[in-house]
Amino acid sequence: MPQELSEVGPSWDMVQVLCDHTNSRKPVGAVGKDSEWHQIEQSILGCSLLTFNQEKEGPQQHPNFRKAIDLILDRERMIEQLGGFREAPASSFLPAMNDKGTAAVHRTDLEEARRLLKEMGYDGELVTMFIYSHNNEDAIWICEQCVKAGIRIELTTRSMSDMMRLDTIHEADLIFYHICLESEYDLHIIQTLKQSNSYVRAHLTSEKKEWIDEEMVHILMIPDIKDRIARLHDIIEVLQEDQSFLFVLHRSQQTTYHDSIRGVCINDLGWVDFRKIWFTPSA
């Protein structure tokens, strides 16, 4: 580092990382001094998911119920109405791409959803959805859409520590959350399907868990990452056939930093790599 820069003390009041979960796209730190501030906006690797506890007695065990909710959720309208950093409908773990590598397309049909619910004999039984506090807005929107078809959902906000406990996970009928991935995509999907307190795995039937475990024995022996990912996508596709869990939305995030800061880069999880930033001298 040049001598004149090494003598400049860092001014941390000039660093602002904005991970906005609200509707506002205007960075707070840029107000009144736009010319001195820069923005980086990027897609977050990952998506929001809705899981259904198929190990607990209730309407969420029935494939008609899960299919109905999928048909109810107009993801494009969700983005339009809630705005903010909601970027695109999700049909896979990676932004704006489904398992076949094409743009995500979702069918919305409220009447068909009502027909499926009537066919299964659903009569307005209350189901509980567990969420983190920062997912309130999305979860409330989902509940408001579901009630149009007669589905009653009670939201329960739980702490992060509670949501890591298996007894809490098993207590919920549904869980809505956002999963963030890093560049080792295959490892994160394996973890999602294998880890005991993963919401996706914990809410699957015992039969599906056994099937996944058998498939994983073979997948973990595949040396080529592309081949591993292809086999993992096959598993996900099977789980999507009866809506074992739903992909909902992809998000982006914005990072705002002052002109005096250099070397700003964002990692896969959306964090600034503080090891690489440095400060220019004040004028």
pLDDT tier, 250 (very low <50, low <70, confident <90, very high otherwise): confident
**DSSP codes, 2-69:** -HHHHTSPP-GGGEE-----SS--S-GGGTT-GGGEEEEEEE-SEEEEEEE-TTSSSGGGSHHHHHHH
Q: Mean pLDDT over residues 47-61, rounded?
A: 96
Considering its fold, how many domains does the chain have in total? 1
pLDDT, greater one: 176 or 37: 176
pLDDT range class, residue 253, cuts 50, 70, 90:
low
pLDDT, averaged across the chain? 80
The pLDDT of residue 170 is above 70: yes
**CATH code for the domain of 54:** 3.10.105.10
Tell me whether residue 12 is in a domain. no
Residue 274 predicted with pLDDT over 80: no
Would 27 be classed as within a structural domain?
no
Give the domain range for residue 174.
46-182+244-251
Residue 263: pLDDT band (50, 70, 90) is low
pLDDT at position 100 over 80: no
Of 225 and 83, more confident: 225
Q: Is residue 261 part of a domain?
A: no
- Please, which pLDDT band fits residue 27 given cuts at 50, 70 and 90? very low
